[in-house]
């Protein structure tokens, strides 16, 4: 069967033809949950979901029980949805147990129950192994991941931003989807929450502008990022570290802070690229920023060399990966980030 993106699932289901088995492949929880909700809404009436929606885990040796349920007529519903999570656990079984489990699953997929939609879930699968090959051939594979590199992840977040806007019947000004993806660091759950807020703010105009992003999405972190830009421009490394440390203690999410700093760095690069903008009001008008933010941005952009800003974008991506991968604690990761942003000549924090 074909492989589709999570955003294409709704259109696929709208065709009306039943899908006997799907594989949700990937580790993006928001996309996976969205697909789950679509499938349940499509196939099971709300009044019957207590009886006609089942969840099992292959990691807990419940594969046989799950397939038995899939072959059992549901109560109070013409269709049922059976979820089997952690399918990748089958790959780590001993050869004999793995072969038996794969054979059991293969036998079901050759003759699936017409009243069941079987939803298999795996964060990753080795496509060279028999399990991966069978599922690629006999299920509709839905990619629930954002891709392996920053470009793919950002592109997927931009597509999701546009989809969420269309779903809420609001128009996005050019550049809004891209900027929103940057601001939320490709966190799709946060993206959805921010889009809800922006759509409500759009009210009767049904249009989201770049000014709205700064007013609503950036506002909570605006003071942090612009004050930080002044500290970096003035090479006040220890002051910047202490500032971020306080923000962490006050409940700021480290990944969100890094995303906001990355947004700020892109704004500084945009300021440097402006032609004939010598005053904060000119910057504010051309980049659709608040005048007070534009004044700080103009001052910082004049002090920080372009090469240092471009290197900072790379450092911010690396910091984002370290935080998401758990390879370094939040405060240590942010301290290291500040040292990179300040550039050569900084010796580190004194303890």
Beta strands in the chain (DSSP E): 3-5, 21-25, 53-57, 80-85, 116-122, 140-143, 171-172, 207-208
What residue spans in the chain does CATH classification 1.10.8 cover? 150-217
Torsions phi, psi of 161, nearest 5?
-60, -45
Q: Do the beta carbons of residue 228 and residue 240 sit within 8 Å? A: yes
CA angle 112, 114, 115 (to 5 degrees): 120
3-state secondary structure of 237: helix
Instruction: Say which residue the tokens 């399918």 belong to.
Output: 87
3-state secondary structure of 329: coil
3-state secondary structure of 113: coil
Could you tell me the CA-to-CA distances from 310 to 46, 217, 268, 270, 315 in Å, in that order? 51, 24, 10, 12, 9
The answer on pLDDT for 348 being more than 50 is no
Express each pLDDT in 303-312 by its tens digit: 888 899 999 9
Distance CA 176, CA 346 (A): 36
What residue spans in the chain does CATH classification 3.40.50.300 cover? 3-143
3-state secondary structure of 140: strand
10-19, 58-67, 117-126: which has the highest mean pLDDT? 117-126
Whether the CA torsion 23, 28, 29, 34 is positive or negative: it is negative
Q: Which residues pair with 287 in a beta bridge?
A: none
pLDDT over 90 for what percent of the chain?
Answer: 33
What residue spans in the chain does CATH classification 1.20.272.10 cover? 220-342
Q: Is 94 exposed, middle or buried (0-12, 13-18, 19+ CB in 10 A)?
A: exposed
Helices 306-325 and 330-342: angle between axes, nearest 10 degrees: 170
**Running DSSP on this structure, what letter comes out for residue 278?**
-
- Overall average pLDDT of the 127-132 stretch: 90
pLDDT of 80:
96
The answer on pLDDT for 349 being more than 50 is no
Rg (the chain; Cα; Å):
25
- The CATH number assigned to the domain with range 3-143 reads 3.40.50.300
- The CATH number assigned to the domain with range 150-217 reads 1.10.8
Q: Do the beta carbons of residue 146 and residue 156 sit within 8 Å? A: yes
Question: Looking at the domain covering 220-342, what would its CATH class be?
Answer: mainly alpha
Express each pLDDT in 218-250 by its tens digit: 555 555 677 788 888 888 888 889 888 888 887
pTM, two decimals, is 0.59
Residues 211, 214, 216, 217, Cα dihedral to 10°: 130
- Overall average pLDDT of the 155-184 stretch: 86
pLDDT of 105:
96
Element (H, E) at 315: helix 306-325
């Amino acid at each position: 069967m074909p492989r589709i993106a999570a955003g294409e699932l709704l259109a696929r289901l709208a065709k009306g033809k039943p899908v006997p088995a799907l594989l949700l492949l990937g580790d993006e929880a928001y996309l996976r949950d969205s697909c789950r909700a679509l499938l349940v809404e499509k196939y099971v009436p709300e009044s019957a979901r207590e009886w006609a929606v089942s969840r099992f885990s292959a990691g807990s040796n419940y594969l046989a029980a799950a397939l038995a349920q899939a072959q059992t007529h549901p109560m109070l519903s013409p269709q049922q949805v059976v979820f089997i999570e952690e399918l990748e656990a089958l790959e780590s079984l001993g050869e004999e147990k793995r072969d038996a489990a794969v054979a059991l699953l293969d036998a079901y997929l050759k003759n699936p129950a017409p009243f069941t939609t079987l939803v298999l879930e795996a964060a990753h699968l080795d496509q060279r192994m028999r399990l991966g090959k069978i599922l690629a051939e006999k299920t509709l594979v839905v990619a629930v991941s954002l891709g392996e590199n920053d470009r793919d992840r950002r592109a997927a977040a931009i597509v999701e931003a546009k989809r969420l806007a269309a779903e809420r019947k609001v128009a996005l000004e050019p550049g809004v989807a891209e900027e929103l993806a940057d601001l939320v660091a490709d966190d799709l759950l946060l993206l959805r929450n921010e889009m809800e807020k922006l759509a409500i703010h759009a009210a009767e105009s049904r249009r989201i502008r770049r000014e709205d992003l700064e007013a609503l999405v950036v506002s909570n972190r605006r003071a942090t990022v612009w004050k930080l830009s002044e500290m970096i421009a003035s090479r006040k490394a220890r002051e910047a570290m202490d500032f971020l440390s306080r923000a962490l203690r006050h409940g700021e999410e480290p990944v969100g802070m890094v995303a906001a700093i990355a947004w700020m760095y892109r704004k500084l690069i945009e300021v440097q690229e402006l032609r004939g903008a010598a005053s904060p009001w000119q910057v504010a008008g051309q980049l659709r920023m608040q005048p007070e933010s534009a004044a700080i941005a103009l001052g910082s952009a004049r002090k920080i060399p372009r090469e240092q800003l471009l290197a900072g974008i790379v450092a911010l991506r690396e910091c984002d990966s370290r935080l998401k991968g758990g390879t370094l604690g939040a405060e240590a990761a942010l301290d290291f980030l500040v040292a990179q942003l300040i550039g050569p000549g900084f010796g580190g924090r004194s303890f």
